[in-house]
Amino acid sequence: MIHLWQRMLAVGWIMMFLSACGNPGISYTASGSAELSPARIQDLRTVYPLAQGIPELIEMRELTFQEVVELSDSVIIAEVIQRLPDYRINLTSNPGTPEGALTGKPRQSGNQDTSAGQASFADYQVKVNTIITGKSIPTTIHLITNTQLTGVEPDLMPGMKLLVAVQQAKGNHPEDRYSFTRYAAYYIVDERFVLEVYEGQSEQRQQFSALTNGKTLENLMDHIRNMNP
């Protein structure tokens, strides 16, 4: 007769085997590290799409992940709570505003009412779970992006988790607003993996993508911590 503990041991072994070998969404590299399979990435893109394109009225230069990190105050892990109504502010000439270095400069009016000296911003309330590098920030903040970039920057949904570089908004913005950009943002998926928000064209971005996209969150955090200032 098979003792109860032997049955439990056999069931436990089977469950471990199935969990290790029966998940088609995860593959392993030659070094043994885990990564998402191409099929799983394709499935996830229906919920976590790439942010592509450039608005015709915006002049933008593709930045590397590290360039944005160097311009930012902090790199964080955050979870989206809700999207709030867009808000408007009077424009300021301060070069540290979100419509400055991280998002490019408008060539024409676009969605901005430049005749009235105003700009409009999308507003996402998020919970900050982890500060990976940089300054201390509140546990609840607002991620903002210029509404001229609607359809270019990601549309964040409640419950989404992100690794993102942020810069505190200056000038006439409400309190606890932080700008972000697709150039330094990753979706966190399947608990411990990441998908890039933006697929770059430059050699530097493609090299960084090969090291991080579809790989583990811990792997991406290691790359960020090891960046030279």
What is the CATH classification number for the domain harbouring 129? 2.40.50.120
* Residue-level pLDDT at 17: 36
Q: How high is the pLDDT of residue 171?
A: 87
Of 111-125, 164-178, 187-201, give the lowest mean pLDDT range.
111-125
Does 122 fall in a domain?
yes
- Contacts of the segment 189-194: beta carbons below 8 A, 24+ positions apart: 189/36, 189/44, 189/48, 190/25, 190/36, 190/40, 190/44, 192/216, 192/217, 192/218, 193/34, 193/35, 193/36, 193/217, 194/163, 194/220
Share of the chain above pLDDT 90, in %: 61
Q: Is residue 117 part of a domain?
A: yes
Name the residue range of residue 55's domain. Answer: 51-190+218-225
Q: How many domains, in total, are found in the chain?
A: 1
Alpha helices in 53-191 (DSSP H): 65-71
Q: What is the pLDDT of residue 118?
A: 87
Residue 191 has pLDDT above 70, yes or no: yes
Indicate whether 59 belongs to any domain: yes
Give yes or no for a contact between 193 and 215, defined as CB atoms under 8 angstroms apart.
Answer: yes
Answer yes or no: is pLDDT of 29 > 80.
no
In a domain, 7, yes or no: no
Q: Is 186 inside a domain boundary?
A: yes
Residue 5 lies in a domain: no
* Residue 57 pLDDT exceeds 90: no
Residue 5 has a CB neighbour count (10 Å cut-off) of 8
Residue 175: band (very low, low, confident or very high) from pLDDT cuts 50, 70, 90? very high
Express each pLDDT in 103-119 by its tens digit: 444 444 444 444 358 89
Q: Is 76 domain-assigned?
A: yes
pTM of the model: 0.78
Q: Per the domain annotation, does 209 fall within a domain? A: no
